[in-house]
Chains A and B, each alone.
Chain A
Amino acid sequence: MPTVEQVGKLRVRREFRRRWLLSAPALLTILLAAVGPLAIVFLFSFMEKGDYGDVKYWHFSTDGWLSLIFERDPIDDTLGLASANVQIIWRSIKLSFLTTIFTAALGFPTAYVIATRSVRSRNTWLFLITIPFWTNLLIRTFAIQDLIRNEGLINLTLRKLGLIDAPLQLLFTDGAVLAGLTYVYFPLMVLPIYASLEKLDMRLVEAGYDLYASRLQVLRHIILPHAAPGLIAGSILVFIPSIGAYVTPRVLGGGKNMMLGNLIEQQFGQARDWPFGSALSIALLVVVTLALLVYVRNASRGSGSHHGR
């Protein structure tokens, strides 16, 4: 007769195996088509750059990494700090951060409104929210461009209303890129928050009011905690891709307001500096992975206590 201990150990081992089996398909696919190729990028960041793009295979050099911080002035050959890189990195972080804030500020109320409609109309609302995103990104971005250009709808309306005399230069500014990013990533914020809020039992909210809590208190202590996992998931889904955004800044920024994604793309294109582009990507990756690790540590610490309420 197996002892209680032995049975217990067996169950733990089976659990363990089951968990790895379940996650296997996802992990394998990603290893093959996402992580594996990254190893190539990592290698490339340490190679010497080729004359016309690509790398000189197996010629090693740390130039790619040094270019992150230092740059040599092409004319007088002095070594200095790569200020332009810093500018671009700063712009990317700033814009992504603002995008996350805006999408959260707009997305939370929207998700809440949807989650508190009747069950029948909820699906209709979700449906309506996702329709714009069944449209190609390029076309939508060009449509935004069309709205904010000098003779576009927004300027025309403002002039008709007499609020401005000459058209505002909205297109090809940082603001345009911000608006575009917010527009593009809005549903990535709304859907996860909705998925969390949908589980919220409105009776808890009612109970809060019955106990004479103010609206703000109910929001803070009952609603927001329930929305928290969704808010966090949404923030990640928005912040991280927007930092590496490429199409939106290119179309709405007019090629002059580069973000990190554009800088990296440029290294593989016109600038022909693949090692530098690779180093940039790995650096970005490291920073973001660290942030995610912090999140995961906190999340798994907290998730044990969240259910069974």
Chain B
Amino acid sequence: MAVRAPFSVRNQPGFVAIAAICMFALYLPICTYVSYAFNSSGTGNGWEGFTLKWFGIAWQNREIQDAAWRSLQIAVVAATAATIMATLAAVATTRTAPYRGLTLKYVLINQPLIVPEIVTAVALLIFFARIKVWTDYSGMGYLFIAHTAFCIPFAYLPIRARLEGMDLTLETAASDLYANGWQTFREVTLPLLWPGIIAGYMLAFVISLDDVVITDFIKSGGQDTLPTFMLGQIRRSISPELNAAATGFLALSVLAVTVFYLINRKRN
């Protein structure tokens, strides 16, 4: 009988090459603007020397500080709320025989994905404006709700995908062993679901951080987030201190995610 030459089951030809190219392409624009943050030349024409001055300028810029902090706040609240709601909803709508209202639910949950942001933005502007006039409250609550709403489907889909591929037998075994629904969920389903939840949370966080159009329309005076602040600056160009601010933001986010992963790893 012919003996198969040993080969790695894990590697498909060309896949690693493609993945490597993708990673490179992914980082090229990042490296570009990070380099501008350190470039002492203010314009885009050539490298003129290393400097940290743009960071100083950005740090002192009160508007950038305000905007960045606000972006972070909203993203944390929205991603957390959205992921929790999405997990519950995913459990309720996946791996069941079709029941009345399932399709409707599915469509509703994914609705923010379907509607162009500009449409939601205008609709929310009008809707919230009436409420603002009624209740005289014009705080960040509107931003929180709006962001949570459009983050839900982004958290939902990866969790659902993960859930669909999961093995039911473990859960059946658990209930055979007299675990009630909540225990089964906590000890068996949740740990297995965890990668999906993380993927969902990260997606939701990023989506909220990035949002331009909706935030721009429903924010009130003095409630800029980093993207809306930059949109307002578009008439000139991306100044080096904006690049510096974005680089700083990036460093901060990397730090936060690193911490998150380390904690998670320790748990496992």
Contact = CB atoms under 8 A, between A and B. Distances in A.
B16 A22 contact: no
B19 A113 contact: yes
A193 B10 CA distance: 16
Contacts of A285: 114-115, 119
B58 interface: no
B114 A240 contact: yes
B30 A37 contact: no
B254 interface: yes
A205 B210 CA distance: 39
A93 interface: no
B116 A109 contact: no
Contacts of A126: 199
Contacts of B51: none
A106 B181 CA distance: 40
Contacts of B111: 30, 34-35, 38
> How extensive is the interface on chain B, given as a class?
35 or more
Contacts, number: 311
A58 interface: no
A79 B163 CA distance: 53
Contact of A293 (B91, B103, B146, B230): B103
> How extensive is the interface on chain A, given as a class?
35 or more
B105 interface: yes
B160 A233 contact: yes
A304 interface: yes
Interface stretch (A62-70, A83-91, A143-151): A143-151
- Chain A contact residues: over half helix, strand or loop, or mixed? helix
B218 to A, nearest CB: 10
A226 B22 contact: no
Contacts of B26: 129, 132, 183, 186
A36 B22 CA distance: 40
A37 B124 CA distance: 6
A26 B19 contact: no
Interface in A147-201: 147, 151, 153, 183, 186-188, 191-192, 194-196, 198-199
Contact of A194 (B97, B124, B199): B199
A253 interface: no
Contact of A109 (B18, B89, B114): B18
B215 to A, nearest CB: 12
A165 B79 CA distance: 49
Contacts of B74: none
B166 interface: yes
Contacts of A97: none
A278 B119 contact: yes
B149 A281 contact: no
Contacts of B152: 26, 29-30
Interface string B144-173: 011011101010111011101111110000
B93 A307 contact: no
Contacts of A106: 18, 22
Contact of B227 (A34, A137, A199, A219): A137
A271 to B, nearest CB: 13
Interface string B183-212: 000000000000110010011001001101
A139 interface: yes
Q: Which 10 A-B residue pairings sit nearest by Cβ, starting from the closest? A: A37-B123, A244-B116, A143-B29, A33-B149, A134-B253, A22-B92, A109-B15, A281-B119, A26-B85, A26-B89
15 contacts: A20-B101, A22-B88, A37-B123, A38-B120, A38-B123, A113-B16, A135-B33, A138-B212, A142-B33, A143-B33, A146-B32, A199-B165, A233-B157, A240-B114, A264-B118
